[in-house]
Structure 1
């Protein structure tokens, strides 16, 4: 099977693990190249069990946490745009799109995974990075991209057309370890996933993905996994 390049275009460190850890690891294990662009360093988040710290200190911590999680998930390269956390919507759309396009072109990304148009939970940074990714793909500046997917975390998948979903139970140990790598966010993470040491969150057992656009034709179809397309070339 030809190696494909899949690019996750997201807003914060830990976004990759919340909604797509099982997918990232599955793709890496199949021999594909997975790369990640994070628009912010998460400097406006909580520092949780690590105690008080400045925004600059938290940014440094979260960059290291993301690097650790990425290694667990088989993500080969991580890049940061370094925009202020919580302020991504203030970045000019053309600037954000251009920087995403540059990332896609340098890596030869064929498949993009990002948030849905509403960010999945109305988070303004999620909405902004989704818009930027769509602009980069649809603007014609990146000729390598052939498909664009939205990942839908938990309740965000309700009522939406799902192209494929992955059961997290088989890859729970990997997802759990990647979540634990984001130590500063432990309190927030456990609000969603419960005690990572003892429980499996049945209500979040699926990672769901919707095909938003494909260069090859109508995206209104079902797939068993993203690998269906990759195997077909």
Structure 2
């Protein structure tokens, strides 16, 4: 039986920024990785070619871009909750929580990945999806979930936590770059972070993750080999 994993993020392209290579590795190992996105990214920055689009049209475009990225990453499913981009912190918390819970209970994952509490860069939407996903998992409403992982951030490291495991993107850079290119409406921001995608960015080499919760225990110590084995990674 496959070891289903869910990634819970705020916007289309978060998955490619943070975990493209991990998602593809899981898929190639026989998993059925799925992605939950709280928004359609309709408030995202637009490059010149898309500057004329309305929010509605940008949202539709970003859904299509996400579909192309999902094909590259071999995601088994992508679902949008459709909450307002840029305003997740203002959403009705119960509706938000129930949307996340419902998705997790349909997919029945053993592991869930999301942003750390600081959102990685203190983006309010990132922080909101982290808080709600964490509440869904640790609150006992999603009984299949055994582990909750956060993407690594400087505040998490400053709090004394080290990555549980990392994925070296260099051998798979072509895959990550292709997934990032799929989000063409966001290419200016993508290249601001990674540089021109035909060049491998050594300073952005690793996708790193820390286990934040496991079956009732917060911040458990776990070796990289054990974590990778439990996730079904070769």
TM-based fold match above 0.5? yes
- Asked if the contact 1:49/1:187 (under 8 Å) is kept, the reply is no
State yes or no: 1:175 paired with 2:176: yes
TM-score with structure 2 length normalisation? 0.92
State yes or no: 1:162 paired with 2:160: no
State yes or no: 1:92 paired with 2:92: yes
1:94 deviates by: 2.1
Partner of 2:148: 148
User: 4+ residue stretches of structure 1 with deviation over 6 A?
Assistant: none
1:189 deviates by: 0.2
State yes or no: 1:219 paired with 2:206: no
Secondary structure in 1 matching 2:221:
coil
Partner of 2:188: 187
CA deviation string 1:48-84 (max 9, x = no partner): 1423211011001100001110110011100001111
1:14 deviates by: 0.1
Aligned partners of 2:67, 2:92: CA distance in 1, in Å? Answer: 28
1:216 deviates by: 7.7
Partner of 1:21: 20
Residues 19-168 of structure 1 correspond to what in structure 2 (within 5 A)?
Answer: 19-52=18-51, 53-152=53-152, 159=158, 160-168=161-169
- Asked if the contact 1:4/1:32 (under 8 Å) is kept, the reply is yes
CA RMSD after TM alignment:
1.8
1:227 deviates by: 3.1
1:152 deviates by: 2.5
CA deviation string 1:122-146 (max 9, x = no partner): 0000000000101101111111101
1:166 deviates by: 0.9
Unaligned segments of structure 2, at least 5 residues:
none
Moved more, 34-43 or 92-101: 92-101
Aligned partners of 1:89, 1:212: CA distance in 2, in Å? Answer: 22
- Asked if the contact 2:149/2:213 (under 8 Å) is kept, the reply is yes
Secondary structure in 2 matching 1:50:
helix
1:224 deviates by: 3.6
1:231 deviates by: 4.5
- Aligned residue-pair number: 229
TM-score with structure 1 length normalisation? 0.93
CA deviation string 1:24-68 (max 9, x = no partner): 000000000101100000011122142321101100110000111
Secondary structure in 2 matching 1:213:
strand
- Asked if the contact 1:166/1:225 (under 8 Å) is kept, the reply is no
Aligned partners of 1:123, 1:92: CA distance in 2, in Å? Answer: 18
Aligned partners of 1:157, 1:22: CA distance in 2, in Å? Answer: 22
- Asked if the contact 1:164/1:225 (under 8 Å) is kept, the reply is no
